[in-house]
Amino acid sequence: MLLPDDVDVSDESLPLFTFPDSSTRFALVDNDISVAEFRPLDDIDRIIRLDVSSGDKTGDVVTIDGDEEDVFAIEVDGTTIEAYRSRLTSGGRFVSLDDPADERVELVNLVEPVQQFGPRLENFEEVLIDKNLGRSLTNTVLVTIVVVSGQIVTSILGGYAFARIKFKGRGPLFLLYLGSVMVPFVVLIIPLFQLMLQVGWLDNLSALIIPFMFSAYGTFLMRQFFISIPVEIEEAALLDNASRWKILWRIMVPLARPAIATLATFGFLYAWNSFFWPLVIINSGNPDGRVLSLALSTLGGRSSTDLNLVFAGAMIAMTPPILVFLFAQRYFVENSASSGLK
């Protein structure tokens, strides 16, 4: 069978394999073809795998385990033999690097991959495009950005209200809101799932965003930081006829950058690495709705033999959190230092 014109067996991006009966390296030019397994009539324990279009029916039939099977004439090593087709499956087409005319059809998991050491950027392209990790990465970035932005805004507003605005029941309400942190998330899964089902957000990214845009921990963090800011600064702004809204966004928020960076980092890590809730709310049959953690779990199962792809996917998932932590590192130090000042 002739190879397509655009296939070059010398292409370094093609994975290489060796067969047990040969030391020659073979390139996998097609990893999803229909394969027919034939068993010779004179040795039915032997399996010969060929392209599904190989072999011609002789018109004869043979009885195997009580079932009648058609007899095919197939060519093996230049000799025509009679065999019956035991089953159809999928496999790969391999071409020798030394002799492009030497072509073989075999199951991919039955051949030995050639170990290649060193960087191979094609792994990232394959895992992002062929394994559809790119869509999951896009979903994760979207969910993370919206969740973190929502937590920052709501925590700033709630923290400032509890720290500076006096209203009836402020203390008990804050303790009640803070007490929600002690409720384990597993207790909330069933009612939260039922709520998402009623509003029609099942198998929808909205279910990964809206419930997590509010953070009791973030509100507590921002409240504590706002309390540490001298009240005289705010009083001076009030004397200059500044409104509460202007004081918050022009004075308090710029001073609270270390706390905001800390909150953003924690929120980012939580949203980026979230696994259990997406596993519950996103249908496994909807690959376009998956986030990165689910896609990596699926990749580890389906491509467990392709460790290069698994590690490439892991590197893609690890890089953003590392970069975020390195960027926010100095704010952690600044926040820790300022918390000890009076």
**What digits encode the pLDDT tens for the residues 171-228?**
999 999 999 889 998 899 999 999 999 999 988 999 999 999 999 999 999 999 999 9
Q: Is residue 3 part of a domain?
A: no
Max CA separation in the chain (angstroms): 104
Nearest to 124 by CA among 271, 310, 320, 340: 310
Note whether 294 and 192 are same-domain residues. yes
Q: Give the CATH number of the domain where residue 155 resides.
A: 1.10.3720.10
Note whether 298 and 197 are same-domain residues. yes
**How far is the C-alpha of 223 from the C-alpha of 111, rounded, in Å?**
62
pLDDT at 223: 94
Note whether 82 and 134 are same-domain residues. no
**How far is the C-alpha of 86 from the C-alpha of 172, rounded, in Å?**
75
Note whether 84 and 169 are same-domain residues. no
Residue written as token pair 């720290």:
163
Q: Is residue 256 part of a domain?
A: yes
**How far is the C-alpha of 338 from the C-alpha of 342, rounded, in Å?**
8
Question: 342 burial class (0-12, 13-18, 19+ CB within 10 angstroms)?
Answer: exposed
Length of the chain: 342
pLDDT at 13: 64
Q: Is residue 297 part of a domain?
A: yes
Contact 92, 105 (CB under 8 A): yes
Return the structure tokens found at 69. Answer: 């099977």
Note whether 78 and 107 are same-domain residues. yes
Note whether 204 and 244 are same-domain residues. yes
pLDDT at 170: 92
pLDDT at 268: 94
Note whether 179 and 33 are same-domain residues. no
Note whether 136 and 203 are same-domain residues. yes
Among 82, 117, 152, the domain boundary falls at 117
Question: What stretches in the chain show pLDDT beneath 70?
Answer: 1-13, 115-118, 303-305, 332-342
Q: Is residue 290 part of a domain?
A: yes
pLDDT at 325: 85
Contact 73, 55 (CB under 8 A): yes
Note whether 96 and 153 are same-domain residues. no
The parent domain of residue 304 ranges over: 130-339
- Three-state SS for 22? coil
Note whether 106 and 159 are same-domain residues. no
Note whether 31 and 56 are same-domain residues. yes
Among 117, 151, 186, the domain boundary falls at 117
What domain count does the chain have? 2
**How far is the C-alpha of 244 from the C-alpha of 93, rounded, in Å?**
71
Q: Is residue 280 part of a domain?
A: yes
Among 78, 95, 117, the domain boundary falls at 117
pLDDT at 196: 93
